[in-house]
Amino acid sequence: ASPSVKMMLASALLCAPLALAARSGGLARAPPRFGARMMATATATDGSAVPSVTFKTRVRIDSKDPNPFDWKDVSSEDLFKGKRVVLFSLPGAFTPTCSSFQLPGYEAAYEQMKALGIDDVYCLSVNDAFVMRQWGLKQGMAEDMTFGANGFTKVKLLPDGACLFTRGMGMSTTWEKERGFGERSWRYACVIDDMKVEKMFIEGGGIVQDSGPDPYEVSDAAPMLAYLESVKK
């Protein structure tokens, strides 16, 4: 075939899928861009398996550097496999309710929770490891100074900077007109027993996208302590 015929055939092959999509009611979607937001996951409930993800954390090293830390990948299994832990999640480090009530409440209740059969307590936010550490220091939390330590002596601040755990729990919400946070975690708390949700406390009864109100009634330390007391063996 002549060059002009070959060009016409190539053009027809390229246009055929678009024409077919148009006849069926819409254009075909392009593949998602790298880093595009994942599809929504069903909200975790009692009995749900927690997502297996990698957290990008910073651990203390033997160094004279002003910032004596190095990167360490920590998996969900490292934190939750074979353990019973409390995890509470909030919209953002340094924000008012999180800083004035939620984190201080769990920090104060840490020893009580340990006495009620909890191996550790984690505070999760869609922030990076640098922000989480500075928030903990600003809160006056005691930092674990041993080499290899990942955070603080009581409540551990868990960075979910890429929102992978939050999405996997079905707890992702986006604040755009309200607050301008972007994608963050809805406020909740849970007990995780060996990689499964034992008990879930979700504010407002469920996620609201771009919510005006920021409910704070069931995810604070008091309801968690009451639950742990009620199931104490």
Q: pLDDT tens-digit profile of 18-68? A: 333 333 343 333 333 333 344 457 899 999 999 999 999 999 999 988 889
Per-residue pLDDT at 79: 98
Per-residue pLDDT at 10: 40
Rounded to an integer, the average pLDDT of 100-108 is: 96
Per-residue pLDDT at 211: 80
Is position 15 annotated as part of the catalytic site? Answer: no
Dihedral sign (CA 154, 57, 207, 167): negative
Distance CA 131, CA 151 (A): 12
Q: Which residues pair with 192 in a beta bridge?
A: 85, 197
* Residue 210, pLDDT above cutoff 50: yes
pLDDT in tens, 82-101: 999 999 999 989 988 899 89
pLDDT in tens, 60-86: 999 988 889 999 999 999 999 999 999
Which residues fall within 8 angstroms of residue 45, CB to CB, at 6 or more apart? 197, 200
- The CA distances from residue 230 to 59, 61, 95, 178, 226, in Å, are 36, 41, 31, 37, 6
Tell me which of 98, 123, 163, 190 is the catalytic residue: 98
Amino acid at residue number 14: L
Q: How would you class 188 by CB atoms within 10 Å of its CB: exposed for 0-12, middle for 13-18, buried for 19 or more?
A: buried
- The predicted model scores a pTM of 0.81
121 phi, psi to nearest 5 deg: -125, 130
- The CA distances from residue 81 to 68, 76, 117, 156, in Å, are 28, 7, 15, 16
Give the chain's mean pLDDT.
Answer: 85
Residue 99: which region, alpha, beta or left (left: phi > 0; alpha: psi -120 to 50)? alpha
What is the Cα Rg of the chain in Å? 23
Distance CA 9, CA 112 (A): 74
